[in-house]
A and B are shown apart, each in its own frame.
Chain A
Amino acid sequence: MPERTPHTEVEGAESSAFVAWPIELDGVTVRYPNGVVALNNVSLSIAAGEMVSVVGLSGSGKSTMIRTINGLVPATNGTVTVGPHTVTTLRGKALRELRGSVGMIFQGFNLADRASVYQNVLVGRFAHTATWKTMLGMASSEDREIVLRALDSVGMLEKVWGRAGALSGGQKQRIAIARALSQEPEVMLADEPVASLDPPTAHAVMTDLERINTERGLTVLVNLHLMDLARQYTTRMIGLRAGEVVYDGPATTATDADFEAIYGRPIQSRDRLGK
């Protein structure tokens, strides 16, 4: 990795005190108002700077689990700790500040299609900007710089003034990654980030996430339902079935039998993305 050394130097100069955050779930249960128990007494800890995949079928609770980490879904029981914060006790401003340190990307990209790419990435600066400044449309030159650098790092700088809705799926996910990066987060969450993308684009986005982990050193937690992506891009894999952890171990050496245990059925061809 010859280009990594200068890159880390630049990173070091900007934020010399950068330390990724660990994530800890302790006996977390989520029961939705309709009575569905999406997560049942889940305990796990993820070290700072790890790249972890959460694998499971749809309905297994992986979307719920990743949302308890930034408090988008409140835990009914148990505690979630991210870095110095106990997420489950945070409310209001403190919760928004924590979310500012946790980047997140989604299956459906969650961009405002009619707003410009620039505006969409500026969303990542919300937690660092006073509401009245946002109201007046006053982005600081520092925010502007961060937004443009984030767009450049995902190779989308030339689209900055275009509409987000005019882009392809892969490009939209890159914009979403830039939005998350512009938060300058300590942790990156990804909820099925490649499920609506074609195979080559999916690999490109996974490579972006891998780079965020190796070059910037962020803790990355990515929900996947495809076994080959989990094996190829992540070091540790957590298997969820019916809201419970059924596997926790290395991703590269996970056997087909391990995946069958996670899925609760024999492997099918749609469990792999292919090349």
Chain B
Amino acid sequence: MTNTLVLPPKPRTWPRNVGVVLALAAMTLLTTLPRLGGVEIDLGSIARNWSNAAERIGMLLQPDLSILPRTIEPMFQTLSMAIVGTVLAAALAIPLSLWAARPTNPNGLTRRAVRFVLNVVRAVPDLVYATILVAMVGVGTLPGVITLILFDVGIVVKLVSESIDSADSAYMEGGRAAGGTQTQINKVTALPQSWPVIASQVLYSLELNVRISAILGIVGAGGIGRLIDEVRGFYRYDALSTIIIEILVVVLIIEVVSNYLRKRLR
């Protein structure tokens, strides 16, 4: 019993924990009190409108397959919008990702500029882009594709540049010691090194694109969304059900394929 362990003083963490709990409680309180500007959620309206809802659910449960032939063309339009958007976005996102990551762009000024612009691009919701672009370039697939490109570049650059930031970049020193410019080092070593991440995020953005481009038609940006808007306008919930199922199947197929491809990349 001669050598009792001498522990260093344990850091006190409870004041911080209490602070966090209090802050969360205060935030909850503030956001739920209508008098303090909180949102009012009336759960009772679900019960009051139940008969209405039940009728529609009933129609949704009996899909009207006769709409199917009419969905094929807009569905292909949606798919091609998604693919074209992904490809163009990938072409833009690859150099931007390298400029937005610290190891591949040591220049703080340009790196922060790229990140700032992309933060702004990402902050705008996709439907807002689509609505504005429809007003600017007219109804059709073009505003849809541009919306998808803006949306994809935002997320792909963010995810890829963050993964370059956190990956081990010791190989950079090898290129620097050989007298390479940053661009040379990026092209020959950083690009192959980040390739799996880039491919994986681009495939992920393809998945998202199919989902988003299904909606974009509602604001006039082409694809199956236009048809959704039409049948919904005529209260044809049975036809809507068919379209939803079709989108679900297509999204699932793309997800399965992209999951398989992403696994192969590792």
Contacts and interface: CB of A to CB of B under 8 A. Distances in A.
Given A123-B178, A183-B179, A112 B184 contact: no
A126 B189 contact: no
Given A96-B181, A135-B187, A126 B192 contact: no
A184 B184 CA distance: 18
Contact of A106 (B174, B183, B184): B174
B184 A134 contact: yes
Size category, A interface: 35 or more
B38 interface: no
20 contacts: A96-B179, A99-B177, A99-B178, A100-B179, A104-B178, A110-B171, A110-B172, A116-B192, A120-B174, A120-B189, A122-B188, A123-B178, A123-B185, A123-B188, A123-B189, A126-B178, A127-B180, A134-B183, A179-B174, A183-B178
Given A120-B174, A176-B174, 15 more contacts: A96-B179, A96-B181, A103-B178, A104-B177, A112-B174, A113-B193, A114-B196, A119-B192, A120-B189, A122-B188, A123-B175, A126-B178, A131-B183, A131-B184, A135-B183
Interface string B136-180: 000000000000000000000000000000000011111111111
A248 interface: no
B192 A112 contact: yes
Contacts of A70: 177
A47 interface: no
Given A113-B193, A115-B193, A134 B187 contact: yes
A218 interface: no
A268 to B, nearest CB: 25
Contacts of B177: 70, 72, 99, 102, 104, 106, 110, 189
Size category, B interface: 20 to 34
Indicate the member of B171, B177, B185, B188 with the most A CB atoms within 10 Å.
Answer: B177
Contacts, number: 97
A115 B173 CA distance: 15
A111 interface: yes
A83 interface: no
A245 interface: no
Interface of B: 170-181, 183-185, 187-190, 192-193, 195-196
A129 interface: yes
Contacts of B180: 96, 123, 126-127
Given A114-B193, A115-B192, A126 B187 contact: no
Contact of A126 (B173, B185, B196): B185
5 tightest A-B CB contacts, nearest first: A127-B179, A126-B180, A99-B179, A110-B174, A112-B189
A33 to B, nearest CB: 15
Contacts of B172: 110
A72 B193 contact: no
Interface string A125-138: 01101010011010
Nearest to A101: B179
A30 B147 CA distance: 52
A110 B180 CA distance: 14
A151 interface: no
A61 interface: no
A98 interface: yes
B181 A72 contact: no
Interface in A170-190: 176, 179-180, 183, 189
Contacts of B196: 114
Contact of B188 (A99, A106, A119): A119
Contacts of A137: 187
Nearest to B191: A115
B184 A114 contact: no
Contacts of A183: 178-179
A108 interface: yes
Contacts of B179: 95-100, 126-127, 183
Interface in A220-268: none
A144 B173 CA distance: 22
A183 B180 CA distance: 11
A231 B188 CA distance: 38
